[in-house]
Amino acid sequence: MDTPKKYIRTLEGDIEAVKKGIIPNLSPLIKSPPIPEAEPLKPSPIKTYSGDFLQRMKDTHASTATVLAAEQDASTSGVPQDQPEKSPKSNIIYIIIGAVLVLLGISGSYIAYTRYLTNAEPIILAPTVSAPIFVDDTEKISGTNSKEMLQAIEQSVTRPLAPNTVRFLYTDFATTTDNSVFSSLKPLAPDVLLRNINVTRSMAGIVNSGGGQSPFFVLSVASYGDTFAGMLSWEPTMVRDLSTLFPSFAEGYGGQAASATSTIATSTPILIASFRDEVVSNHDTRVYYDAEGRSILLYGYWNQTTLVIARDRSAFTEIIGRLATTRAQ
């Protein structure tokens, strides 16, 4: 019986075969004759990674340790090296540039916000005032007491108006309080009259009629009986209290004598100045005539709730006509 062949393959044998250019393979173990040297393999026409690797080891006479060291070097060559640290000077420049940009941004935002606030300021509408009649002109007057208000009205009388036109006089407090121009003369007028005045429908003004300019008042009242009683009680001092607005013809406005454009329609001279009942434009009035029969002032009711105080018949007629026209509209 033949003895089975033995095959022994060791790492040392493989390395020795590789050094000689021989591909290790299994071969039967022969005791007596030495291992014959195999013929060198002819290079394969097909290039493979293992073939290139073996050829490279043969050409360079490299050992396994040399190959492992080369692989280690190759694995570390791809690792990026640490970047050189930047100069502190360049960092300072970047910091300064960044701070400047931040300041510019803050400044721009502030300017834009300021312009927005300027454009977005709430529009405050000026208080509006209205007159119970249509007017041709308006003028704002002011004063802190009755004397100053009387002087402001007197000065407005001296500013010329076209014939048969009306100027509306108003104040700031007329839109924010319960006071009218006439109410500001409170020390001169009876309380019962002032308590019954409806400020929003009352007015003061200047009228050019009959060849002269004079002030007037249109007062909206709540009670005809109370206000008429108040006017009657005021008659003894009314002309004196309102002498600045309705001066005698000798004094006139601003020191200039007033023109006598309205006299009593009677041939009998009036020797004592007083109030008299008279019908003007189909309305009952009370007219104060001086000793020569010239009208100084008059008052009358257009209706039960509208009281008119004017200089003379022509002024009263102009105001009454405008009241009727406004009511009709």
3-state SS assignment for residue 312? coil
Instruction: Please tell me the predicted confidence (pLDDT) of residue 223.
Output: 93
pLDDT at 8 over 70: no
- Average pLDDT (290-297) is 89
Kindly give the pairing relationship between strand 212-221 and strand 306-310.
Answer: antiparallel
Among residues 191, 184, 187, 207, the alpha carbon closest in space to that of 309 is found at 207
Chain Cα centroid distance, residue 155: 38
Residue matched to tokens 């396994």:
64
> What is the 8-class DSSP label of residue 188?
G
- The pTM for the full model equals 0.58
Residues in the chain: 329
DSSP for residue 295 = E
Using 50, 70 and 90 to split pLDDT, how confident is the model at 81? low
Query: Regarding beta strands 137-140 and 166-170, do their DSSP bridges make them parallel or antiparallel, or are they unpaired?
Result: parallel
pLDDT at position 260: 47
Mean pLDDT of 298-313: 96
270 vs 210, more confident? 210
| Residue, of 117 and 147, whose pLDDT is higher | 147
Which secondary structure element, helix H or strand E, spans residue 316, and what is its range?
A: helix 313-328
- Tokens 């004397």 sit at which residue? 147
Compute the mean pLDDT over every residue in the chain, rounded to the nearest whole number: 77
Neighbours of 155 (CB within 10 A): 13
Q: How confident is the model at residue 28 (pLDDT cuts 50, 70, 90)?
A: low
How far apart, in whole angstroms, are the C-alpha atoms of residue 13 and residue 252?
148
Residue 192's pLDDT is 92
pLDDT digits (tens, 9 = 90+) for 84-142: 565 666 678 888 888 888 888 898 888 887 777 766 655 544 445 678 899 999 999 98
- Position 266 pLDDT exceeds 50: no
Q: What pLDDT score does 124 carry? A: 47
pLDDT at 220 over 60: yes
d(CA 53, CA 220): 122
Q: Which residues pair with 169 in a beta bridge?
A: 139, 204
**Rounded CA gap, 231 and 88, in Å?**
96
In this structure, what is the dihedral angle of CA atoms 225, 231, 234, 235, given to the nearest 10 degrees? Answer: -120
Cα gap 231→193, rounded to integer Å: 7
- pLDDT at residue 314 above 70? yes
Choose among 107, 113, 326: nearest CA to 218. Answer: 326
What SS3 class is residue 145?
coil
Exposed/middle/buried for residue 260 (C-beta within 10 Å: 0-12, 13-18, 19+) = middle
- In this predicted structure, what is the pLDDT of residue 169? 93
Distance CA 286, CA 194 (A): 19
The angle subtended at Cα 240 by Cα 238 and Cα 246, nearest 5°, is 85
Question: What percent of the chain has pLDDT above 70?
Answer: 64
In the chain, the N- to C-terminal Cα span, in Å, equals: 150
In this structure, which amino acid lies at residue 65? A
Tokens of 199: 């400020």
The pLDDT of residue 59: 72
| DSSP assigned state of 214 | E
For 32-77, write each residue's pLDDT tens digit. 555 555 555 555 556 665 666 667 677 776 666 666 666 666 655 5
* Tokens at 268, concatenated: 């009998």
Structure confidence at residue 157 as a pLDDT band (50, 70, 90) = very high
